[in-house]
Amino acid sequence: MADLPQLPYDWQEPLYKHLHQHPELSMEEHETRAEIARRLSEFGYEVQEIGGGVVGVLTNGDGATVLTRADFDALPVAETTGLPYSSTVDGVMHACGHDMHVTCALGAAQAMAETKDSWQGTYLALFQPGEEIAAGARSMVDDGLVNKVPRPDVCLSQHVLGGLSGTVSTSPGAVLSAGDSIKVTIHGKGSHGSMPHLGVDPVVIAASIVVRLQSIVSRVIAPGDFGVVTVGSIQAGSKSNIIPDSATLLLNVRTYDDAVRTKVLEAIERIVRGECEAGGTPQEPDFEYYDRFPLTLNDEATTARVTEAFRAHFGEDKVTHMAPVPASEDFSIIPDAFGVPYSYWGLGGFEEGATPVGNHNPKFAPAIHPTIETGTAALASAVLAWLGTTPESENR
Ligand code: ZN
Ligand code: ZN
């Protein structure tokens, strides 16, 4: 396999800090997108803007085609890290490390451009917007991604997580959960609080629903199956002596298996309808599904190849097992659109002894080094596991 250039590139840390200081919300990432496109062009890539994202294509003779994907949106979170390079935008922060993803992916793009003598094939450096709201991958696919770039044989992506900086973690199978948000509206009948018999109280019905929903994970799905059903918001009424007309629940569901997912969603609808029926509502409840994230299900052979490349590059002790994370991603929409296998791995982001702060927390602050070097080398070495032409043995 080709030797990678010396990392990090001297522009990487300043770029990371710049991106961190200038976060942009999902599907509004104009400056970030322009910056990515400009740098890819400088590295010699053929650049296209697709559905709010950017794809750089580097063709280098016959061979396989590999796509890497990095996301670049930030979150509506007010930063409290106190870092000298804190966000300069009120209430917006790169609290999920997507600034790190861009920094590493652009580094890998330069590394691939610089080592063209030692690999063959086509490399696609894809950068997507709007991951946090499950909109960006879909938007790129809807804008014709599949017909605008060469079809990859495999898609790869990574996420900075709570592990030790300098390590990567991989696993075949489900690594991230499917995520579904549901807005449930219960239609009751308003009345004076002293005359409940003249109304249909949606607050009482909502309360029964919240309690009964807890039985899905304990009674409906198998004991070994994973599922989370959370009612994150419940809203009805405004005054103690008025029975309101309606109640609204916001639900969030996480699962690691499509059959379990279907079972849980069916049970939710059944319970809500049943409780509404029991309460005598004048109208059927409404269900509005949103922020729907697919399951991230790593292909076994692809993941084995990535893991082997990491072990060869970083050493056995730097490659750990990735336990499934009950968070969700829209990455798999991209490989699914092409109908190709994929692997998604974790990039350790925290120093030894540091208490890792979870993604989306206002204090989320990954260690810059060696996270940048590791994330850059991880992408490049994984890509070269398909495109590298020199057998490992000839390098020794
Ligand atoms: Zn996130
Ligand atoms: Zn993220």
* Domain spans, the chain: 12-175+295-394, 178-292
1, pLDDT greater than 70: no
Beta strands 242-243 and 168-170 are unpaired
**How many degrees, rounded to 5, is the angle at CA 12 between CA 11 and CA 17?**
105
State how far Cα 248 lies from the chain centre. Answer: 27
Query: Which one of the ligands is nearest to 71 CA?
Result: 2
385, pLDDT greater than 50: yes
pLDDT in tens, 238-294: 999 999 999 999 999 999 999 999 999 999 999 999 999 999 999 999 999 998 999
User: How many angstroms separate the alpha carbon of residue 95 from the centre of ligand 1?
Assistant: 7
User: How many angstroms separate the alpha carbon of residue 3 from the centre of ligand 1?
Assistant: 32
Pull the structure tokens for residue 379: 């992408």
pLDDT in tens, 297-331: 999 999 999 999 999 999 999 999 999 988 999 99
41, pLDDT greater than 60: yes
**Fold assignment, 178-292:** Alpha-Beta Plaits (3.30.70)
Phi, psi at residue 373, to the nearest 5°?
-60, -45
How confident is the prediction for the chain on average, in pLDDT?
96
Region 74-81 average pLDDT: 97
User: How many angstroms separate the alpha carbon of residue 114 from the centre of ligand 2?
Assistant: 28
Is the CB of residue 155 less than 8 Å from the CB of residue 340? Answer: yes
pLDDT of the residue at 10: 97
Region 22-26 average pLDDT: 98
pLDDT of the residue at 354: 82
390, pLDDT greater than 70: no
In 10 A of CB 290, how many CB atoms? 11
pLDDT of the residue at 352: 86
pLDDT of the residue at 394: 40
pLDDT of the residue at 205: 98
Cα separation, 103 vs 113, whole angstroms:
16
Going by C-alpha positions, the residue among 380, 371, 377, 354 that lies closest to residue 13 is 371
393, pLDDT greater than 90: no
In 10 A of CB 11, how many CB atoms? 14
User: How many angstroms separate the alpha carbon of residue 93 from the centre of ligand 2?
Assistant: 12
The class level of CATH for 12-175+295-394 reads alpha beta
User: How many angstroms separate the alpha carbon of residue 132 from the centre of ligand 1?
Assistant: 5
User: How many angstroms separate the alpha carbon of residue 115 from the centre of ligand 2?
Assistant: 29
User: How many angstroms separate the alpha carbon of residue 93 from the centre of ligand 1?
Assistant: 11
Phi, psi at residue 75, to the nearest 5°?
-120, 155
The secondary structure of 1-56, three-state, reads: CCCCCCCCCCCHHHHHHHHHHCCCECCCCHHHHHHHHHHHHHCCCEEEEECCEEEE
pLDDT of the residue at 338: 98
User: How many angstroms separate the alpha carbon of residue 84 from the centre of ligand 1?
Assistant: 22
Region 201-223 average pLDDT: 97
Region 115-131 average pLDDT: 97
Beta strands 168-170 and 319-321 are parallel
Query: Which one of the ligands is nearest to 101 CA?
Result: 2
pLDDT of the residue at 395: 41
User: How many angstroms separate the alpha carbon of residue 328 from the centre of ligand 2?
Assistant: 9
User: How many angstroms separate the alpha carbon of residue 22 from the centre of ligand 2?
Assistant: 17
Cα separation, 70 vs 331, whole angstroms:
9
Region 135-159 average pLDDT: 98
User: How many angstroms separate the alpha carbon of residue 33 from the centre of ligand 1?
Assistant: 18
Query: Which one of the ligands is nearest to 99 CA?
Result: 2
Region 30-59 average pLDDT: 98
User: How many angstroms separate the alpha carbon of residue 130 from the centre of ligand 2?
Assistant: 10
Beta strands 191-192 and 173-176 are unpaired
User: How many angstroms separate the alpha carbon of residue 131 from the centre of ligand 1?
Assistant: 7
**How many degrees, rounded to 5, is the angle at CA 140 between CA 371 and CA 90?**
55
Region 173-179 average pLDDT: 96
Written as one letter, the residue type at 133 is: I
User: How many angstroms separate the alpha carbon of residue 359 from the centre of ligand 2?
Assistant: 7
